[in-house]
Amino acid sequence: MPQESLIYLTKVGEEIGQVVDDLAALRIRVFRDFPYLYDGSFDYEKDYLKPYTQSERSFLFAVYHGQQMVGATTGLPLVDEMLEIRQPFERAPYDLTTIFYFGESLLLPEFRGQGIGHRFFDEREAFARSFHAYTLACFCSVDRPDDHPARPANYRPNDGFWLKRGYRKEPALKATLTWPDIGEDTASPKSMLFWTKKLKE
């Protein structure tokens, strides 16, 4: 899809509430694919995205094609995230006031391969660095076994991309989130692994 047909939009804090339904719909669509296999619902999304509409320093950078949100990336101070995301850092322990948490990076398949994924990280890192407080960025990803039955034969994890961006995997930092996989009647626990990068020395 040509870049000139895309519209880029930034929302901060409570402004995210203006497009939260678009973000929820995009999350449900993109995270349905492996490795998340998320059988999404707007009820779950309403709770999950609440911190982003309530934090004063939450961040959303979105990509629209016409009226449709086709890509988005988010972040917010770790202290404003849900307990399950904060706990691994509290137990370590880290100073949570110095950490900025990167939420999702979502892009529909037909818009990939144009450098938008790199721009997502550029935008989030620049926003976090605009505050003096944050010296570390982090995000988490679901940890699925290599022999998972739903893993596509051509699946390539994002680890190489994240390493090139300067992030490192932190095996000691793990969280557990619950959601229903496709085909499940109820939510089940998923292991999440964290990646970190220094924003300032």
Q: Report the pLDDT value the prediction gives residue 200, as an integer from 0 to 100.
A: 81
The SS3 call for residue 189 is strand
β 68-77/59-65 pair status: antiparallel
Distances (CA, A) of 46 to 21, 23, 42, 103: 9, 10, 6, 15
| CA 139 – CA 85 distance, rounded (Å) | 9
pTM of the model: 0.94
pLDDT at 3: 65
3-state SS class at 82: coil
Q: Where are the domains of the chain?
A: 3-198
Mean pLDDT by 10 residues, the chain (201 residues): 81 97 96 94 91 97 96 98 96 96 96 94 98 97 94 93 97 95 93 96 67
Other residues' Cβ atoms within 10 Å of the Cβ of residue 35: 19
Backbone angles phi and psi of 54, in degrees to 5: -110, -25
DSSP string, 10-49: EEEGGGGGGGHHHHHHHHHHHTTSTTT-B---HHHHHHHT
For domain 3-198, the question of CATH label 3.40.630.30 is answered with yes
